[in-house]
Amino acid sequence: MKKLLLFILICGNINYFCFAQPGGNFNKAEALQVAYLTKELGLSSEEAQRFWPVFNNYREELKKTRRDNRTDELMFEEKVLNIRKKYSTEFKKIFNNDQRVNRIFQADKNFREILRKELQNRRRNQQKNNRDLPLRQ
C-alpha cells in the first residue's frame, strides 16, 4: 500500500513538472531526480507531500542564484551556502532529524554527479560513433 501511494505521489510530481512550469516544458532530469531522492531518502507519502514543495522552492532558488552569479564564483558559493542553511531549517521542520536533512543535500549532490557522468558518457559515445561513420565521397 505504501509503495502504491509513493508511486502515485511520484507520478503527481512528474505531472507537476509537465504542466505547472511555464511553457509546459518537461524536464526528464527533474523527473529522475524526484524518483532518485524519494528512494534515497525513503520518503513516506506524508513526508513526500510536505517535502517536495519545499525542495522545489530550494531547487528554484539555486537555479536563480546560478543564473544571477555566473561570473563571480565566490559570491555564488556564498549564496548557495546561505540557501542551504535557510532550507536546512525548513527541512528540519519536516523530518525533525539532522541526519536526514544532511542526507537530502548529499543525495542531491550524488544525483547531480550521476547525471554529470551519464552526460559525459553519452557525449563520449556520440563522438566515438561520429568518428566511426564512413566518410562520404
Per-residue pLDDT reduced to its tens digit, 93-131: 999 889 999 999 999 999 999 999 998 998 998 888 887
Model-wide pTM > 0.85: no
Count of C-beta atoms within a 10 Å radius of residue 43: 21
C-alpha cell at 66: 546560478
Phi and psi angles of residue 126, each rounded to the nearest 5 degrees, phi first: -65, -40
How far is the C-alpha of 63 from the C-alpha of 59, rounded, in Å?
6
Element (H or E) spanning 18, and its range?
helix 2-19
How far is the C-alpha of 37 from the C-alpha of 108, rounded, in Å?
7
Which of 102, 76, 77, 78 has its CA nearest to residue 88? Answer: 102
- Contact (Cβ atoms closer than 8 angstroms) between residue 65 and residue 90: no
* Concatenated DSSP letters of 89-120: HHHHHHH--HHHHHHHHHHHHHHHHHHHHHHH
pLDDT band at 15 (very low <50, low <70, confident <90, very high): very low
pLDDT band at 24 (very low <50, low <70, confident <90, very high): very low
Question: 3-class DSSP state for residue 65?
Answer: helix
